[in-house]
Amino acid sequence: MNVTITPTPLAGAVTPPPSKSQAHRLIIAAALSDGFCKLSNVDLSEDIQATLRCMRTLDADASSDGTIIRGADLVDGHEEPAPEVMDCGESGSTLRFLIPVALALKGGGKFTGHGRLMERPQEPYFALFREKGIFYEQKDGVLTVRSKLTPGDYTLPGNVSSQFITGLLYALPLLEGDSRILLTTDLESRGYVDMTLDALGQFGVKAEYDGGRTFHVPGNQYYQHRDLAIEADWSNAAFWYGAVSLGCQVDIQGLNAYSVQGDMRIVPYYMKLQGEGPVDLDVSQCPDLVPPLAAMAALRAGETTRIVNAGRLRIKESDRLATVTQVLNALGAQVEEHEDYLVIHGREKLAGGVTVSGHNDHRIAMMAAIAAIRCEGAVTITGAECVKKSYPRFWEDYRRLGGELTCDI
């Protein structure tokens, strides 16, 4: 689907979709629990559908809308790996969270995905598997893992992806003995690990983080069934903060001001970008904020912004350092791409009048839509359906806020 936007200011109230990051975590915990769980405010984005699909393959029962999950059968001692290949779609969270879970519960499983998913690095797990004698093979787009996960020490880098840590945090409490996760580098994206620890705690599972490089995870634990609501998503709210930054009268509603979501950092970063003078933004703890921050920075007239410690963006749905640069520069911005940072020289307006690719990356397509607000000519975004990955109703909300857009399927 192609979307063509005629630049115009946005105005009105909007509630961001439920947090995809929290939904993954609560769905998995519910599927590991000892009974029925009711989850409210579930949004069936493509990534969340992937997690629900894989949990069903692992024998959990889940309603079609993801709101009722029965997890008892999942922990009743099934020893054989699931016969079906688990299709993770394009969801890195689904894949990396469930690899250790499948090993702990089923002695392994098979995983596949789409887009760039199976090209994204899994080496932190593979290094552990070699150390612990766990079989793994990646062939023809399918990853096979086979062995029983055992308690003990698990050593991981803290600066590749917090998803590897989260996967182990879900699996290790189910083992018969205590374990530790030992980080070889400082932890980045700590907000996502905090979300994991919060989700575990809500289901009665204990895991202690010392604030440095060690997690202590007692074994022989059980996930207790809970009824919970999923919060609105600060990551996607960031795009509406981008619209406000560009002069739109958008009222962003429904967010939890006391959330543990790390992308709440959009608020102080938004405030920094409203000031004068050069600004440095360290995104090591909030890499998903780079596209909306870049759109804001591109339109800070006469000001320079550096977005630093962003190297991990190269292994997302797209190489986001490259695609942010390509798309904004095509619109008329002045963005310099470096190995792990961007330098953006702000302008009053962007020329627009071009067609840009969404690069099969939901955050890149939404970034282009926000930047189009301050373009002089119409902007066409190809592959605009990619927003379904995290924000299925984005174009609907954009139009409801007064955005002028046409869709060409």
Query: Which pLDDT tens digit goes with each residue over 195-210?
Result: 999 999 999 999 999 9
Q: How far is CA 322 from CA 188, 325, 326, 349, 361, in A?
A: 21, 5, 6, 22, 12
* β-bridge pairing 279-282 and 68-70: unpaired
The structure's pTM equals 0.90
Token readout for 36 is 């029925």
Of the chain, the percentage scoring pLDDT greater than 70 comes to 98
Minimal CA–CA distance to 405: which of 359, 364, 365, 351?
A: 365
Considering the candidates 47, 233, 263, 288, report the single residue annotated as catalytic: 288
* Banded model confidence at residue 74, pLDDT cuts 50, 70, 90: low
Give the per-residue pLDDT at 236.
Answer: 97
Give the per-residue pLDDT at 73.
Answer: 57
* Banded model confidence at residue 215, pLDDT cuts 50, 70, 90: very high
Tens digits of residue pLDDT in 155-204: 999 988 899 999 999 999 999 999 999 999 999 889 999 999 999 999 99
C-alpha 358/C-alpha 248 separation (Å) is 23
Specify which residues 112 forms β-bridges with: 87, 142
Residue bearing tokens 């999923």: 230
Tens digits of residue pLDDT in 219-253: 999 999 999 999 999 999 999 999 999 999 999 99
Q: How far is CA 283 from CA 22, 72, 236, 259, in A?
A: 20, 39, 16, 19
Give the per-residue pLDDT at 59.
Answer: 85
Which residues neighbour 325 within 8 Å (Cβ) at sequence distance 6 or greater? 335, 336, 337, 342
Q: Is the pLDDT of residue 83 over 80?
A: no
Buried b (16+ CB within 10 A) or exposed e, 378-396: bbbbbbbbbbbbbbbebbe
User: Is 288 among the residues known to form the active site?
Assistant: yes
Token readout for 336 is 């310099």
Do 361 and 312 contact (CB within 8 A), yes or no? no
The whole-chain average pLDDT of the chain stands at 94
Q: Is the pLDDT of residue 273 over 70?
A: yes
Tens digits of residue pLDDT in 5-32: 999 999 999 999 999 999 999 999 999 9
Please report the domains of the chain, with CATH numbers, ordered by start residue.
2-17+232-408 (3.65.10.10), 20-229 (3.65.10.10)
